[in-house]
Structure 1
Amino acid sequence: MLKSYEATLENGQLKWLVDEPKLSSARVIVTILEDTTPRVKRRTPPASIAGKGKTLGDLVSSAIEELDWECLK
């Protein structure tokens, strides 16, 4: 029977994250998952336009006023 256990590999040593298997020896299949932490790229404007934007109005309220509320019933 196959069972899955989650662990991390640090300096060649397995560190069990939940339940450690209660076996003295076993045949194993190891799947390596790459680092799953999402890398967030922060977008920045070019220096030539940075800080020069202007808010000319409230975009959200104008969109809400234009909705046909009767179609939502």
Structure 2
Amino acid sequence: MLKSYEAIYENGQIKWLGEQPQVKSARIIVTILEETEAPLKRRTISPSIAGKGKTLGDIVSPIVDEQDWECLK
């Protein structure tokens, strides 16, 4: 069975854009797409951290009091 995965090849490295194949060894066929004027770069969240973020406190008000901020005036 054939399955497609999207990746970018850059400086000798493969950067997976989504799901990564779970194989130790495989025969592959590489298709090179012509680059457009502005190559599209999609940002995706790593599956290892997806859904693990937490909101601490109120998202409108800061957790730390303003007096405790280290701001330059």
Q: TM-score, normalised by structure 2?
A: 0.48
Q: When you count helix as a share of all residues, which structure comes out higher?
A: 1
